[in-house]
């Protein structure tokens, strides 16, 4: 984690040649100087999907593409739609369309107003021009890079398997989801109720993780948000899944330090990624 002056390099792309594309939109740790937050950096860091890009860092070794953000999700959240603007955060009306969705109501829209525990991030209101700057400097480049990586995989292979990679706390906080206090499974797979990937692919991923002895939940409490919604079009052989890893499997949630479980979690993810790299979703079959 460090402070950086704008403009920052918003993302890193580790290119691959297979049909597997991974992205980590929430593990960025470069905090721009124009953030203007009122809470300590240590408090903001709790919002990170800390270390997710490292968990999947083997991607180039197996031919997969990895796209990961450098900016923190609390600065601007790449897994939100441009319409997910929280009007309570602004000092003037937003001139574009607004969507009053559940994430906005939790204070977790495109630009966050609250942390997971309900702590306000700012002691001020942001100007619409500040939000526009964050969109142009971070959100748009991230989505352009991910779209390019997905398009390239489809051009090479005729299909893409895209994993939108996240981590989650062991227990849901008060403002993190609509299910505060929920004890999370080891993994949560989201396909927006079968709309962003072939359900047989979802079951394939679930079986691999269950075979490793992990607990797995599908579409609860995380179905997938903007990134899989934008890119998941299974009828066009564009399959997008959101995959949440329980932080307790690989890190101390208080200190943010990795523990011995990191290697075990990474080995499980590598096994999954290798299986997906060799899978043609056009030939998926239901288990007998």
- DSSP, collapsed to helix, strand or coil, labels residue 10 as coil
Q: What is the mean pLDDT of the chain?
A: 94
Q: How far apart are CA 58 and CA 174, in angstroms?
A: 34
- In the numeric block, the tokens 């052989």 are attached to 237
Reply yes or no on whether the pLDDT at 5 is more than 50.
no
Backbone angles phi, psi at 125, to 5 degrees: -105, 150
What's the angle, vertex CA 141, arms to CA 84 and CA 246, rounded to 5? 65
Those residues whose C-beta lies under 8 Å from the C-beta of residue 45, and which sit 6 or more positions away, are 1, 29, 256
Reply yes or no on whether the pLDDT at 7 is more than 60.
no
* pLDDT of amino acid 287: 58
Which residues of 8-93 form beta strands (DSSP E)?
11-14, 20-24, 30-32, 65-69
For the segment 188-239, what is each residue's pLDDT rounded down to a tens digit? 999 999 999 999 999 999 999 999 999 999 999 999 999 999 999 999 999 9
Q: How far apart are CA 166 and CA 164, in angstroms?
A: 7
Q: Whole-structure pTM over 0.75, yes or no?
A: yes
CB contact at 8 A, 66 and 59: yes
Reply yes or no on whether the pLDDT at 40 is more than 90.
yes
DSSP assigned state of 182? P
What is the helix (H) or strand (E) element at residue 115, kind and residue range? Answer: none
Write the Ramachandran bin of 247: left for phi over 0, alpha for psi from -120 to 50, otherwise beta.
Answer: alpha
Q: How many residues does the chain have?
A: 288
Nearest alpha-carbon partner for 164 in 277, 76, 245, 237: 245
Residue-range domains of the chain with CATH: 2-282 (3.40.630.40)
CB contact at 8 A, 224 and 190: yes
Those residues whose C-beta lies under 8 Å from the C-beta of residue 268, and which sit 6 or more positions away, are 209, 212, 214
Q: How far apart are CA 232 and CA 237, in angstroms?
A: 9
């Amino acid at each position: 984690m460090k402070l950086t002056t704008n403009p920052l390099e918003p993302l890193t792309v580790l290119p691959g040649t297979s049909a597997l594309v991974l992205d980590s939109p929430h593990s960025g740790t470069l905090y721009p100087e124009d953030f203007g937050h009122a809470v300590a950096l240590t408090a903001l860091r709790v919002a990170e999907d800390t270390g997710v890009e490292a968990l999947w860092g083997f991607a180039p070794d197996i031919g997969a593409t990895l796209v990961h953000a450098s900016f923190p999700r609390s600065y601007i959240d790449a897994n939100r739609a441009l319409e997910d603007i929280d009007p309570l955060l602004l000092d003037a009306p937003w001139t574009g369309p607004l969507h009053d969705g559940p994430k906005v109501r939790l204070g977790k829209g495109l630009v966050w107003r609250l942390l997971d525990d309900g702590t306000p991030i700012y002691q001020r209101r942001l100007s619409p021009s500040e939000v526009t700057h964050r969109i142009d400097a971070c959100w748009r480049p991230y989505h352009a890079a991910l779209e390019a990586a997905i398009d390239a995989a489809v051009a090479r292979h005729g299909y893409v398997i895209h994993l939108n990679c996240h981590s989650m706390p062991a227990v849901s906080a008060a403002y993190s989801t609509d299910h505060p206090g929920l004890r999370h499974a080891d993994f949560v797979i989201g396909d927006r109720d079968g709309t962003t990937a072939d359900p047989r692919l979802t079951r394939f991923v679930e079986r691999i993780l269950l075979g490793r002895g992990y607990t797995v939940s599908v579409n609860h409490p995380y179905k997938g948000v903007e990134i899989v919604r934008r890119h998941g079009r299974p009828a066009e052989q564009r399959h997008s899944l959101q995959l949440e890893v329980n932080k307790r499997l690989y890190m101390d949630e208080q200190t943010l330090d990795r523990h011995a479980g990191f290697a075990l979690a990474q080995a499980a993810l590598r096994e999954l990624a290798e299986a997906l790299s060799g899978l043609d979703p056009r030939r998926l079959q239901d288990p007998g």
